[in-house]
Amino acid sequence: MSTHNAQGVTAPQGFTAAAAQAGIKPSGKPDMALVVNTGPRFDAAAVFTRNRVKASPVKLSQQAVADGSLRAVLYNSGNANACNGAQGDADARESQAYASAALGVDAGEVAVCSTGLIGELLEMDKVKGGVDALVPALGTDNGQAAADAILTTDLVRKEAVYSGEGFTVGAMGKGVGMMAPSLATMLVCITTDAQATPEALEVALRKATKVTFDTVDIDGSTSTNDTVIVMANGASGTTPRQEELDAAILHVCDSLARQMQADAEGVTKRVNITVTGTADDEQALNAARTLGRDNLFKCAMFGSDPNWGRTLAAVGMADAEMDPDKISVSFNGEAVCIDSTGTPGAREVDLSGADIDVLVDLGTGGPGKATVHTTDLSHDYVEINSAYSS
Amino acid sequence: MSTHNAQGVTAPQGFTAAAAQAGIKPSGKPDMALVVNTGPRFDAAAVFTRNRVKASPVKLSQQAVADGSLRAVLYNSGNANACNGAQGDADARESQAYASAALGVDAGEVAVCSTGLIGELLEMDKVKGGVDALVPALGTDNGQAAADAILTTDLVRKEAVYSGEGFTVGAMGKGVGMMAPSLATMLVCITTDAQATPEALEVALRKATKVTFDTVDIDGSTSTNDTVIVMANGASGTTPRQEELDAAILHVCDSLARQMQADAEGVTKRVNITVTGTADDEQALNAARTLGRDNLFKCAMFGSDPNWGRTLAAVGMADAEMDPDKISVSFNGEAVCIDSTGTPGAREVDLSGADIDVLVDLGTGGPGKATVHTTDLSHDYVEINSAYSS
């Protein structure tokens, strides 16, 4: 078993990809990508945003993958095609129809994913021009180019590869803000030449997303467009056991989730919050998420300030049982608060590095435990997000 | 009925106040205050933070007011006396005992309120020195000085006065951050020379806080120290009807809540969010609060960006029934989104002023309605809160 980060989605056998500059992004950067499964099998599974306000491509792709089969995914960045009403739905369908015709497959075999600005209509002439460029450019070397083309405010490309016993899993993803996924997040495409049923893929994907993307919480905001798709073609001839498949999917999801955390909008600190001492894991997750979303705590992390007082104030509002007099907190392994009281020297703990591990025990003695991956709240976050659409 | 903003807590008959520089704040600014009810009656009621992590003075003041009677409230700023364990509880009790002895009243007749840094022990010699200075300085002209002495990062003093039929209500408050009150918020002291039972005061206070302080949500963070106390002495000889009392208490709470919103940490915009079209008011409040806490939305407000897309993405995660295809949004009365789709010219709506009114209808046709008062998320918020304790 080895891991490298090159050629993400085209690392497994039997997948081709392409990227194009369709002119959707004003910057002129690549903004469309196509990932095609060339078979022999076309098993697929996906998870989508739980936001009630779903982008048109999410609704369409949910239908496309419902039968457990996909042959291709069409991506565009720069425009989310969200909140565009009936015209948005029609544009998503037209994109799907145009791409499937160009590929010579049924429309229902093509998923579409969009990311970018909400509330702007897709310019369909540009989308069609993009598809016209993508299809003849499909190749087994273009995973990296596709990974570049789906980025928005991401600063770095995000890919992952897992080499299993006789099979390979590849993946690409994007996501730097509006990240508080539930069930799924952002845009992620996972490919594998393993032979696996849609049911096996779905099991592996849900297990993996629960402990990876679902525990990344950058700003408490959940996107309208979150989509994670996995496609398997059996080209390797290997049928991994479910546990092998689970481990492989988990590996690439975990890698992409950490890449997203590291590249989050305006991040200067990666903050990993673990909560223990609750009745169950769900309560621990609630408390970790409450802390990870607390702006005062996040500003303190930006300031390298070991502010355990704000930590207690934040978890005190969490939907979790706790003993308010028995809470303990450590930063990077140094105890700063024991029995809800500061330790000597707690304010001198050095948090100047880029990584901060926070451990909070809520003092009930229960076995609950969970970790959430978040970031600090920085000037750059405000700058990026106050200027994004203007 | 007239309103002015002078002499807050000493505007009603029979209340004295004082302020002192006790040296708790490193800046040397006034940091202690005392408000005394000189009778003839000593009726009182209070509401406190719902945070499970409660500061020592909160726990002590809850006991003091439990019998419906208070003669004085001792305030200090610069130190919250929160998360200091048994020593914090002992220090709060010693402050109460020292002040009550100096005033010649029972300890259980004095409430204590602290605000400032969490997790630092009170320096009791300074507190006692402060009390020694406060008691001889008590006077009927010192409401404004007391209001100054309870401020922390507040930029402006916050007072309110209501002149009713034969009685007066005065108030002072502080609060600029860690503001997402539930039941009560921040430090507020309300005084009145009306004659009113503790039960009548409690009814009026709970009604008022529900629609004033409870709807201010600056950063989703709820303090460990929130305390709102009302004291009534009957010195005017007037016993207002419950509705008159309700209206008077509501008036000063509403005034202070708006002053807090306007002075919130780093605020450049006052954002008032009203949600309609839900099954009931509680769902509308949930949705308004979810939007008011969404960092992407708040950054857009900072950027004067009429970003209705982020508005829909945020309310889509709210715990409220909605029709995802029938959501409408207006900014400052201009419709920017109808049936979940942008209107022509939506992006050109001018939000450059300091006040932004946001109206969101969730499209179910239900009668639910609620308003939340929040602010933008600015560079200054990050700056203030990353440097606060260092």
Q: pLDDT digits over A321-356, tens only?
A: 999 889 999 999 999 999 988 898 888 899 999 999
| Main-chain phi, psi angles of A110, to 5 degrees | -120, 125
> Between B303, B309, B385, which is nearest A386 by CB?
B303
Average pLDDT, chain B: 88
What is the model's pLDDT at position A184? 32
In A, minimum Cα distance to B384 occurs at A299
> Do the Cβ atoms of B53 and A313 come within 8 Å?
yes
What is the model's pLDDT at position A211? 81
Distance from the Cα of A200 to chain B's closest Cα (Å) equals: 29
In A, minimum Cα distance to B55 occurs at A313
Q: Is the pLDDT of residue B5 over 50?
A: no
The token pair that represents B226 in the structure block:
């929130």
Q: A347: which chain B residues are within 8 Å (Cβ-Cβ)?
A: 389
Interstrand relation of B72-79 and B328-331 (parallel, antiparallel or unpaired): unpaired
Bridge partners (DSSP) of residue B113 are B75
Contact B168, B193 (CB under 8 A): yes
Exposed e or buried b for every residue in A279-290, given b needs 16+ CB within 10 A?
Answer: beeebbbbbbbb
> Do the Cβ atoms of B221 and A309 come within 8 Å?
no
What is the model's pLDDT at position A279? 95
> Do the Cβ atoms of B224 and A337 come within 8 Å?
no
Residue A333 burial (C-beta neighbours within 10 Å; 0-12, 13-18, 19+): exposed
What is the model's pLDDT at position B183? 33
Bridge partners (DSSP) of residue A110 are A72
Residue B2, SS3?
coil
Residue B185: active-site member: yes
Candidate from A90-99, B126-135, B318-327 with smallest mean pLDDT: B318-327
In B, minimum Cα distance to A82 occurs at B309
Q: A385: which chain B residues are within 8 Å (Cβ-Cβ)?
A: 295-296, 299-300, 303
Q: What is the mean pLDDT of residues A175-197?
A: 71
Which of the two residues, B239 and A156, has the higher pLDDT score? B239
> ∠ CA B261-B267-B271 to the nearest 5 degrees?
60
Q: Which CATH class is domain B8-263?
A: alpha beta
The token pair that represents A360 in the structure block:
């909070």
Q: How sure is the predictor about A182, in pLDDT bands with cuts at 50, 70 and 90? A: very low
In A, minimum Cα distance to B317 occurs at A51
Q: pLDDT digits over A101-147, tens only?
A: 999 999 999 999 998 888 889 999 999 999 999 999 999 999 999 99
Per-domain boundaries in chain A: 8-263, 270-385
- Cβ-based neighbour number of residue A214 at 10 Å: 22
Q: What is the mean pLDDT of residues A11-39?
A: 95
> Do the Cβ atoms of B80 and A309 come within 8 Å?
yes
Q: What is the mean pLDDT of residues B100-107?
A: 98
Residue A59 burial (C-beta neighbours within 10 Å; 0-12, 13-18, 19+): middle
Which of A48, A283, A386 to probe by mutation at the B interface, max B CB count within 10 Å?
Answer: A386
Let me know how long chain A is. Answer: 390
Contact B84, B56 (CB under 8 A): yes
> Between B313, B325, B387, which is nearest A303 by CB?
B387
Q: B219: which chain A residues are within 8 Å (Cβ-Cβ)?
A: 295-296
Instruction: Give the Cα separation of B376 and B304 in Å (integer).
Output: 9
Q: A177: which chain B residues are within 8 Å (Cβ-Cβ)?
A: 296
Distance from the Cα of A379 to chain B's closest Cα (Å) equals: 6
Interstrand relation of B227-232 and B187-192 (parallel, antiparallel or unpaired): parallel
| Main-chain phi, psi angles of B120, to 5 degrees | -110, 135
What is the model's pLDDT at position B185? 41
**Which of A340-344, B136-140, B164-168 has the highest average model confidence (pLDDT)?**
B136-140
> Between B294, B316, B378, which is nearest A382 by CB?
B378
Average pLDDT, chain A: 88
Q: Is the pLDDT of residue B213 over 60?
A: yes
Which of the two residues, B230 and A228, has the higher pLDDT score? B230
Q: Is the pLDDT of residue B238 over 90?
A: yes
Reported ipTM: 0.73
Q: Is the pLDDT of residue A264 over 90?
A: no
Annotated binding-site residue numbers of A for substrate: 152, 174, 185, 265, 385, 390
Q: How sure is the predictor about A176, in pLDDT bands with cuts at 50, 70 and 90? A: low
Instruction: Give the Cα separation of A35 and A112 in Å (integer).
Output: 10
What is the model's pLDDT at position A328? 95
From B10, B16, B185, B290, active-site residue:
B185
CATH architecture assigned to B270-385: Roll (3.10)
> Do the Cβ atoms of B308 and A382 come within 8 Å?
no
Candidate from A79-88, A257-266, B14-23, B380-389 with smallest mean pLDDT: B380-389
> Do the Cβ atoms of A117 and B309 come within 8 Å?
yes
Annotated binding-site residue numbers of B for substrate: 152, 174, 185, 265, 385, 390
Instruction: Give the Cα separation of B114 and B96 in Å (integer).
Output: 12
In B, minimum Cα distance to A118 occurs at B309
Contact A147, A30 (CB under 8 A): no
CA-nearest of B215, B140, B230, B154 to B181 is B215
Distance from the Cα of A100 to chain B's closest Cα (Å) equals: 27
Which of A218, A299, A308, A383 to probe by mutation at the B interface, max B CB count within 10 Å?
Answer: A299
DSSP for A60-120?
A: HHHHHHTTSB-SEEEEEEEE---SBHHHHHHHHHHHHHHHHHHHTS-GGGEEEEEEEETT-
What is the model's pLDDT at position B201? 93
Q: What is the mean pLDDT of residues B285-306?
A: 90
Cα dihedral sign for B241, B247, B250, B252? negative
Q: Is the pLDDT of residue A297 over 80?
A: yes
Distance from the Cα of B64 to chain A's closest Cα (Å) equals: 21
Residue A177, SS3?
coil
What is the model's pLDDT at position B388? 52
Q: Is the pLDDT of residue B48 over 60?
A: yes
Annotated binding-site residue numbers of B: 152, 174, 185, 265, 385, 390
> ∠ CA A20-A74-A120 to the nearest 5 degrees?
80
Q: Is the pLDDT of residue B387 over 80?
A: no
Instruction: Give the Cα separation of B17 and B10 in Å (integer).
Output: 7
